Structure 1
């Protein structure tokens, strides 16, 4: 073991715990003046890092024993890489310090797991994945320094504008420990992923935790477009492969289902985020709706469902055997008599997949003419038939898809950002009851843009800030559209009046007036997360002032 003896200024001396033996107690945060003085005194990053040794020690010492074991494993791998490549290392291309990997391991655990007990292989694979994404790495903590102090906030924003990778020392904000050449580490990380230590017993790769190389709330407002483009938009090659596979599957179902039977497949429609153009990188969702001639009314859809699902499953299994796909096509082993699931997963990109629901439905709309409204009788029949909110929304998949798919590209990017935020909120431990559905947030985002901007080019931070503001005003929310159903028909008009008299929040599905996406959800918990996000860097201007939202009312 190498030991260095370093003389240092006691910057933290006045904050020593009274009960300690001259050492800084755990949980003690330095006074802002300490960091203000540091920022003014430093000419190069990490110049005075030795002064904050105790904070650095406490940051790691407080972690669970198993996380420390994961750190040891990562450092062992790092040493092996250094030893193996000592002779081949190009002149002037020094690796980042082992401490950077130590911090990256803590970040991976905090964001992906946070539990004392976890799968060691999963943890290691997650760290290796982050190493390979070093060009997007933006990792820092505010346990010792925060953005409340003006000098500290200005310095931190300056650091965040620098090229990636950025891994700030949690004890010394002037020290970016991520500096160095990561390419060799990334190559070795990719090579290790194919080894037995990161494979399951059945030969499949161990799945990493869901951790991104940068966090939304730590991203400066001016960088949100870049955040979306680099981290949220799906890989184009994977999207092309999935769309090609889905087209093949839809054609196969259309041509082969119920062959020789009186039942006919009228049409097969793609829905969900994949069809709308708002899919997120990683795991996304989609629907394939099979409209059948055996259903002549909304209420018919409950009959013969098990038989129909069984036939569709048989055809999907045949499609799986007969067709060649560039993606892995996997049917769910769990047989549900009401719905069918399958997934399409990338063969080459870890963690890239789309989960599909295949749903039989009544063809209430017939052949839709683009730009025209459905026959009012469709909605009159729906209103007389439904018992539960959104019960027959599957029948209106085309309208739901087109309502979003026709929007400007940048608005779809904002929808992606809001969906990502919603997904992160779902990871936070919460009380009983679900958060509002993602589709409700999607519609709220469209409403915010329609009422506040309507420009195809707008400030992403302003749009995001507006949606968060509306979430906090959930008790007043009343949002609906009449693009597909209108008040001209008496049945629809009377029904709409009743819907709009119900307790807020109200977000009516523009395709299905029986579907209230604001109903029966924990908006209070989501509002709490929105308040926290509005105070973060992603909603803060360069001058440190909050980004103002668009002037949008909570009710139409």
Structure 2
């Protein structure tokens, strides 16, 4: 079979089937244009100076004209957009993973011994007590893998009907509904099933309009859901400014799903062009408002789901095991470290996929070997540097700038070149300690790397 060769545009990442088509594209789209050093936008060479004056000089003037009363809040929001980390003992922001240690020790006396005492907390009958790969498989069947067969089919029908109910109870008509979370990706476990619902509506004219109406709309949705026949199976959680969260008891209340409902206007649409996606990336990169960035990024949810969902069944089994490990191996937060945040479920999914790709994407592999590889990588968290290029080109200016400024651990969202998914965690040192302790448990006792996992011998 002949392999189809693609010619790639280094300016925007578009692919073409012939050199002639690429040359035509370059003349039409990029001839005479240069990238602005400030924002990465392409502008005509002769208009670069006018662009800089009209766009960036105005931004500088607006920055200098900030009110003193709002300066601290604005600074915190800007830092949170870029870093989004806090200390484990308070809500103060810090610059990098490593820069947190000095103030934690000086101000909170959070020394290494205290971190060690408050990090590890293996639950009774933990899967790490299994003594063989066969025993781990049995444990996973009984305690981790979600139900299959008729119960699974009934659950799918229940969630589908409930999603339609949510759409009907929302006060604004939805032009499109997308679904995410571990349940949709196929990485859910028996005790942890997440369902994210995003309602796109044309009533939201822009981001400011959406932020004003969203809280009221979610309050109405909450009230309407509680008044339905399924209302007695809904357990509401604490509200956030952008979403409604609750647990929904499913299939005669045998298990529950964790729902998060969000709404926005459809920035990309169901079939966006490459140019439209690149425009969204630039908007996210330049955005200094946390909530606006979160709302705009909702349009990328289907691509995040597809990235994880495309993994083979065995990789999803590995993801389930690592999710269970995070749930059952750490001590519960106390008053002293109540702001501790472990890696997100999305970060766990991406780490597992990356390890599988390092092993050469085997169709069948030992789950013990896969878990051992992920845990050994977590011990070396400061060396984690993971990037995919399926949605943006390696020479895309925004990616280049983010890559140059990044701190480790670094896992760039495969569908959003502006987000390091590791930034939501502020306890990587605790993760490394628990991973190190786990590797000493019976499950990994005497286990040595076998092909295709030999690369872990150097870790």
- Tell me which interval the TM-score lies in, with the shorter structure as reference length: 0.5 to 0.7
Report 1:70-219 matches (<5 A): 214-219=125-130
Quick check: 1:380 aligned with 2:282?
yes
Structure 1 residues 486 and 315: alpha-carbon distance in aligned structure 2, compared to 1, 3 A threshold: farther
Structure 1 residues 285 and 309: alpha-carbon distance in aligned structure 2, compared to 1, 3 A threshold: same
Which of 271, 276, 289 in structure 1 is aligned with 2:180? 271
Tell me the residue number matched to 1:342: 246
| Structure 2: gaps (5+ residues) | 1-121
Q: If you compute each CA radius of gyration, which structure gives the higher value, 1 or 2?
A: 1
Which of 275, 294, 297 in structure 1 is aligned with 2:203? 294
Tell me the residue number matched to 1:449: 356
Structure 1 residues 291 and 447: alpha-carbon distance in aligned structure 2, compared to 1, 3 A threshold: same
Structure 1 residues 482 and 388: alpha-carbon distance in aligned structure 2, compared to 1, 3 A threshold: farther
Q: Which runs of 4+ in 1 moved over 6 A?
A: 371-374, 552-555
Which of 372, 386, 392 in structure 2 is aligned with 1:479? 386
Which of 153, 157, 160 in structure 2 is aligned with 1:244? 157
User: Over aligned residue pairs, what C-alpha RMSD do you find?
Assistant: 3.4
Could you tell me the TM-score, scaled by structure 1's length? Answer: 0.53
Report 1:293-372 matches (<5 A): 293-297=202-206, 301-318=210-227, 320-321=228-229, 329-332=233-236, 338-346=242-250, 352-368=255-271
Tell me the residue number matched to 1:529: 434
Structure 1 residues 380 and 298: alpha-carbon distance in aligned structure 2, compared to 1, 3 A threshold: farther
Which of 353, 360, 366 in structure 2 is aligned with 1:459? 366
Superposed CA offset, 1:512-544 (max 9, x none): 22322212521111111111111222223xxx3
Superposed CA offset, 1:155-206 (max 9, x none): xxxxxxxxxxxxxxxxxxxxxxxxxxxxxxxxxxxxxxxxxxxxxxxxxxxx
Tell me the residue number matched to 1:186: none
Quick check: 1:435 aligned with 2:339?
no
Q: Is the 8 A contact 2:126 2:328 kept in 1?
A: no
Structure 1 residues 380 and 467: alpha-carbon distance in aligned structure 2, compared to 1, 3 A threshold: same
| Structure 1: gaps (5+ residues) | 1-210
How far, CA to CA, are the matches of 1:379 and 1:387 in structure 2?
Answer: 15
Which of 409, 414, 421 in structure 1 is aligned with 2:325? 421
Quick check: 1:225 aligned with 2:129?
no
How far, CA to CA, are the matches of 1:447 and 1:220 in structure 2?
Answer: 26
Range with bigger deviation, 433-442 or 234-243: 234-243
How far, CA to CA, are the matches of 1:435 and 1:336 in structure 2?
Answer: 19
Q: Is the 8 A contact 1:220 1:537 kept in 2?
A: yes
Q: Which has the higher helix share?
A: 2
Q: Is the 8 A contact 1:373 1:483 kept in 2?
A: no
Secondary structure of the structure 2 residue equivalent to 1:355: strand
Structure 1 residues 292 and 331: alpha-carbon distance in aligned structure 2, compared to 1, 3 A threshold: farther
Secondary structure of the structure 2 residue equivalent to 1:363: coil
How far, CA to CA, are the matches of 2:271 and 2:125 in structure 1?
Answer: 43
C-alpha displacement at 1:412, in angstroms? 0.3
Q: Is the 8 A contact 1:297 1:364 kept in 2?
A: no
Q: Is the 8 A contact 1:291 1:362 kept in 2?
A: yes
Could you tell me the TM-score, scaled by structure 2's length? Answer: 0.63
